[in-house]
Amino acid sequence: MKKQFVLSWILAISVACQGSTVFAQNAVNSNWVAQLQNETEEEAAPTDEELLEDAAKEAKGKETHFSQIAIEHEISPENYIPVLMYHHFEEGDVAPGNGAIVSIDEFEDHIIAFQEAGYTFISLEELHEIMQESALEKETEGRKPVEAPEFELDKKYLCITIDDGYRSNYELAFPILQKYQAKADISVITSRIHTSYVIAQEIEKLCWKDLNVMQESGLVNIYNHTSNHIKVSEKPLPSFRNAVERGEDMLNKNLTKRSDIRVLTYPNGDYTFVSQILMRKLGYDLQLTTNYGVVTRNTSVNEIPRVTVNSGLTGEQVLQKITAAAERTFYPPEAKR
Ligand SMILES: [Zn+2]
């Protein structure tokens, strides 16, 4: 009698627990659906301060992330392509070490240093072409072993990327790009691109007209940095996918011409294995991260590393940073030599 009584209590408790688990799951599911339905640009969008803070964080902390495999190699600039990352530009001095803001005089000094070092500025379209050719060479058994990371290019190539879409890109950086005929590609947060209004106290963003003027020059292409700059890790994947698709739709609607390739620049450089596959399926030819390193023959198009350019660096120091990034890419510290 006593045993049965205890047993029935255990059963009753376990049924109650199961019931509450199901109830809790339903609550989570309906929250999740409500989140997807109610998501608006206004709620979702981070402030400028948060954007710049995030960008500065990108500069730190990620310098130990690698995906390349080390083997014996030759680290010469013709064997890799650095992709640099800038954000906002300011006139006058910027406190050194800022990963999100660079003074425009420094930017000009960088461009001059790159040219003097013999670099040719290429677009992400051209980077993609080089990567495709080398992938083809691997498939058809070229002159090099399949695992060789060296590109063996005819020149030293370099890509400049600029994130988030600040108006300083047009007012300060674009004249420098024109002066030196340097190419750069800009990834914009599409909901922040202004049409007719400016939100109080916000750092001014680009407008569609400026973006179209820059693209017309042939020096700049505009790409997708999502509609709201929400990180992959912060929302369910369908929500991230929506932000990517909204971003691409807005670019299609407002730009007078589009690049031959699709590029996604991950907010904060955050991505997952699943997001890489999903974005590839959606047709993205290149996925830009903030992993520290340079592009080699072994780099995945779904995981393009970049070198953050901080404030306070001379052109010569940026060149040193590129060399250091190349060394770390060809010989990752965690790999066996
Ligand atoms: Zn960003």
244-258 pLDDT tens trace? 999 999 999 999 999
* Residue 137: both structure tokens together: 């060479």
**Per-residue pLDDT at 315:** 98
* Residue 252: both structure tokens together: 């299609």
Helix H segments across 117-259? 124-139, 168, 174-180, 208-216, 237-254
Cα–ligand 1 centroid distance for 53 (angstroms)? 10
Query: What angle (nearest 5°) sits at the alpha carbon of residue 259, between those of residues 266 and 229?
Result: 20
Cα–ligand 1 centroid distance for 58 (angstroms)? 9
Cα–ligand 1 centroid distance for 98 (angstroms)? 14
Cα–ligand 1 centroid distance for 146 (angstroms)? 34
Cα–ligand 1 centroid distance for 41 (angstroms)? 16
- pLDDT > 90: what percent of the chain? 67
Whether residue 295 has pLDDT greater than 80: yes
- The mean pLDDT value for 8-25 works out to 37
Cα–ligand 1 centroid distance for 165 (angstroms)? 9
Whether residue 114 has pLDDT greater than 60: yes
Cα–ligand 1 centroid distance for 55 (angstroms)? 6
- DSSP state at residue 219: S
What are the tens digits of pLDDT across the range 116-160? 999 999 999 999 999 999 888 888 866 677 788 899 999 999 999
Phi, psi of 232 (to 5 degrees): -55, -40
Whether residue 30 has pLDDT greater than 80: no
**Per-residue pLDDT at 87:** 98
Whether residue 337 has pLDDT greater than 70: no
Cα–ligand 1 centroid distance for 189 (angstroms)? 7
Cα–ligand 1 centroid distance for 86 (angstroms)? 10
Q: Pick 270 or 36 by higher pLDDT.
A: 270
Q: Which residue has the tokens 């990352």?
A: 85
Cα–ligand 1 centroid distance for 262 (angstroms)? 17
Question: Which residues, other chains included, contact 220 with Cβ-Cβ below 8 Å and sequence gap of 6+?
Answer: 174, 177, 183, 184, 185, 186, 214
**Per-residue pLDDT at 168:** 96
Question: Which residues, other chains included, contact 59 with Cβ-Cβ below 8 Å and sequence gap of 6+?
Answer: 99, 100, 308, 310
Phi, psi of 334 (to 5 degrees): -85, -10
Indicate the average pLDDT of the chain. Answer: 84
- The mean pLDDT value for 178-205 works out to 85
Instruction: Point out which residues pair with 304 in neighbouring strands.
Output: 288
- The mean pLDDT value for 9-17 works out to 37
- The mean pLDDT value for 303-310 works out to 97
- The mean pLDDT value for 227-251 works out to 95
* Residue 166: both structure tokens together: 């600040």
Determine the residue type at 277: I
**Per-residue pLDDT at 158:** 98
What are the tens digits of pLDDT across the range 278-287? 999 999 999 9
Cα–ligand 1 centroid distance for 244 (angstroms)? 13
**Per-residue pLDDT at 52:** 78
Cα–ligand 1 centroid distance for 273 (angstroms)? 20
Q: Which residues surround ligand 1, an ion (CB under 5 A)?
A: 163-164
Cα–ligand 1 centroid distance for 229 (angstroms)? 6
**Per-residue pLDDT at 46:** 75
CA atoms within 13 A on the CB side of 77: 17
Cα–ligand 1 centroid distance for 305 (angstroms)? 14
Query: In 23-51, which positions are buried (b, 16+ CB within 10 angstroms) versus exposed (e)?
Result: eeeeeeeeeeeeeeeebeeeebbbebeeb
CA separation, residue 328 to residues 38, 66, 297, 305, 335 (Å): 44, 8, 15, 12, 10
Cα–ligand 1 centroid distance for 118 (angstroms)? 29
CA 319 to chain centre: 21
Whether residue 112 has pLDDT greater than 50: yes
**Per-residue pLDDT at 142:** 65
Listed by start position, the domains of the chain span: 49-330
Whether residue 262 has pLDDT greater than 90: yes
Q: Pick 195 or 97 by higher pLDDT.
A: 97
CB atoms within 10 A of CB 263: 24
Residue 134, sorted as left (phi over 0), alpha (psi -120 to 50) or beta, turns out to be alpha
The structural architecture, per CATH, of the domain 49-330 is: Alpha-Beta Barrel (3.20)
Instruction: Point out which residues pair with 119 in neighbouring strands.
Output: 156
Cα–ligand 1 centroid distance for 14 (angstroms)? 48
Q: Pick 197 or 50 by higher pLDDT.
A: 50
Cα–ligand 1 centroid distance for 54 (angstroms)? 8
Under the banding of pLDDT at 50, 70 and 90, the label for residue 16 is: very low
44-58, 156-170, 317-331 — which is least confidently predicted?
44-58
Cα–ligand 1 centroid distance for 186 (angstroms)? 11
Cα–ligand 1 centroid distance for 231 (angstroms)? 9
Cα–ligand 1 centroid distance for 214 (angstroms)? 19
Cα–ligand 1 centroid distance for 7 (angstroms)? 58
Cα–ligand 1 centroid distance for 291 (angstroms)? 14
CB atoms within 10 A of CB 262: 18
Under the banding of pLDDT at 50, 70 and 90, the label for residue 7 is: very low
**Per-residue pLDDT at 196:** 53
Cα–ligand 1 centroid distance for 325 (angstroms)? 21
Question: Which residues, other chains included, contact 103 with Cβ-Cβ below 8 Å and sequence gap of 6+?
Answer: 89, 90, 91, 92, 93, 94, 311
Under the banding of pLDDT at 50, 70 and 90, the label for residue 19 is: very low
